[in-house]
Structure 1
């Protein structure tokens, strides 16, 4: 199915939501039109030579936010292209086609040998031949084949036997990888579980990192865990967070830090431009009030070393016990409540209450956790618009419709 439409606007987006709300069109149809209108906003800016409306510095690919605003640098294994969307412009960006293709295949469903990467590493420097060269220079056998385990706007990750290889896509991601390796060297001796020991080197102009695969699998949910097993896992997670949050900030190599409110003001500005037009006026009013209340006090909040992306995908378990934690790219000074908010987003408030039984947390910290969780679907919307990912946009919008 191919549809051609002319430039939309925030009014058009809101109008489609009204049609859905009063059931004048189906929600699925409305969401698809909203996606197209979001795409049009991007294409309109591009056709005029303007910046994509992801706004301020927090979402530029060549810069990491100093405050850990999650949702942008995450590896997403399924891209909009892989979901079957093809976008084309006509007439100097004045029209757009959105075509849903028939075949959608997840890239990580099959192992990818070094001689058949099918362009995934082309975004770095050299494609399949270059990956084969990396494998050879590392002195690793070509069998078993490399398996693509993650691909996103910042990096590509492969499993090579018992090791994990990451290839940053751009200069900003390279800087983040070097910083992550430095952070891990500083915190590893002080943590109670395994974390990656990154070997960072350059091969053929491409920065890479390599580390041993940590035993365990990502903690997807709590299904099947007994009450005793949940308590044991809660004890493990509490011990890890207490150890991490106790690491002196001055152990990290860091430049001058800006006030947290600066980063949150930029996020609010981006939401005003991109996310809020997709939400109902009542929801937007409530969000602005919560941002205002938070911004009034955020510069005085407690600061410690936090993980910055303590979600289920970065928590590894082996036989229902915590075996390791990965992805420290967002690690830095921040509010400890942010890590608990990330944990609650994946495993629920009830489980986080269980974790907090073993840690001190006052009422104010719980209120901040609620605020941070509110921002996660906003980050999804911003990520989805910036990366032309309708499914992620829909997930963010639906979170505020519940």
Structure 2
């Protein structure tokens, strides 16, 4: 039997999925199991026939998303203007695999890229509308930002030490003084309102396009309720020029929210040494 490690993806393959399905969901045992073309890091995903997927967390730190998404995706879906994953079933540890896992409905579409989107300004307005609709969903009983969301939706102070260390590493490659000012402004612009729903990873890899238009938002593993500033990071990582301005206008957030959004974008770009995004963040006024 395969030995699984807490810090890697080794051992998760189509054969494992076939065994798990045969043991726990025999009604689907005859369906073909194939890897998806574009996979993520937090989960390994496999097509199960033509209508379903099996998603297996690659590490214990991603396991909380299984129950969270199974509980909340059906609550969120009726309120949102775009398709989101549909929770079908939950699998249990088995066949040597140590984590719970999920079966979802397959969503057709291409991963969003600048080339796959027909009209970036329309795309920006559509994403903004999705974010606003998500924020309007009743958050009173939702999962409060914390470890399960990797502190998306919580205070940026969680990542202060990491940011300071990354600034020191990159000080000769970027305008470190300007970056420090942006980070300080983000920390000073604290969230002081009731929590709202956030997705936590509004990024091109989690946006699906059909016929050149945004059709679905996937992967709610870092979702929760709290400060939604993290959902604005796409302004710096995907949009530019008129589409960035369109997104800013359509999403209707205040200056303090944008200060924190810049902080989120800066933190991630610093720790991944993405100088291009860092420069984009620093140019924003």
Tell me whether 1:202 sits opposite 2:92 in the alignment: yes
Partner in structure 2 of residue 220 of structure 1: 113
Partner in structure 2 of residue 370 of structure 1: 262
Shift of 1:363: 4.2
CA distance in structure 1 between the partners assigned to 2:177 and 2:241 by the alignment: 25
Pick aligned residue for 2:81 from 174, 189, 192: 192
Q: Which string of whole-angstrom CA distances, capped at 9 and with x for unpartnered residues, describes residues 66-86 of structure 1?
A: xxxxxxxxxxxxxxxxxxxxx
Shift of 1:349: 4.9
* Structure 1 runs not aligned, ≥5 long: 1-60, 63-118, 382-395
- Given that residues 181 and 200 in structure 1 are in contact (C-alpha distance below 8 angstroms), is that contact kept between their aligned partners in structure 2? yes
Local SS of the residue matching 2:83? coil
Partner in structure 1 of residue 138 of structure 2: 248
Structure whose alpha-carbon radius of gyration is higher: 1
CA distance in structure 1 between the partners assigned to 2:141 and 2:205 by the alignment: 26
CA RMSD of aligned residues (A): 3.5
* Structure 2 runs not aligned, ≥5 long: 1-5, 281-285
Shift of 1:196: 0.8
* Aligned residue-pair number: 264
Shift of 1:317: 1.8
Instruction: State the TM-score, normalized to the length of structure 1.
Output: 0.56
Partner in structure 2 of residue 267 of structure 1: 159
- Given that residues 236 and 277 in structure 2 are in contact (C-alpha distance below 8 angstroms), is that contact kept between their aligned partners in structure 1? no
Shift of 1:243: 0.8
- Given that residues 116 and 209 in structure 2 are in contact (C-alpha distance below 8 angstroms), is that contact kept between their aligned partners in structure 1? no
- Given that residues 222 and 230 in structure 1 are in contact (C-alpha distance below 8 angstroms), is that contact kept between their aligned partners in structure 2? no
Structure 1 residues 182, 145: CA separation in 2 closer, same or farther (over 3 Å shift)? closer
Tell me whether 1:183 sits opposite 2:72 in the alignment: yes
Q: Which string of whole-angstrom CA distances, capped at 9 and with x for unpartnered residues, describes residues 340-369 of structure 1?
A: 222441132521322344443344444444
Local SS of the residue matching 1:347? coil
- Given that residues 197 and 211 in structure 1 are in contact (C-alpha distance below 8 angstroms), is that contact kept between their aligned partners in structure 2? yes
Structure 1 residues 306, 399: CA separation in 2 closer, same or farther (over 3 Å shift)? closer
- Given that residues 344 and 351 in structure 1 are in contact (C-alpha distance below 8 angstroms), is that contact kept between their aligned partners in structure 2? no
Runs (4+) off by over 6 Å: 259-262
Pick aligned residue for 2:230 from 338, 344, 358: 338
Which range is displaced more, 306-315 or 281-290? 281-290
Which residues in structure 2 correspond to 1:233-382 (within 5 Å)? 233-254=123-144, 263-274=155-166, 276-280=168-172, 283-300=175-192, 303-381=195-273
CA distance in structure 1 between the partners assigned to 2:254 and 2:48 by the alignment: 45
- Given that residues 153 and 230 in structure 2 are in contact (C-alpha distance below 8 angstroms), is that contact kept between their aligned partners in structure 1? no
Local SS of the residue matching 2:62? helix
Partner in structure 2 of residue 31 of structure 1: none
Pick aligned residue for 2:22 from 136, 156, 159: 136
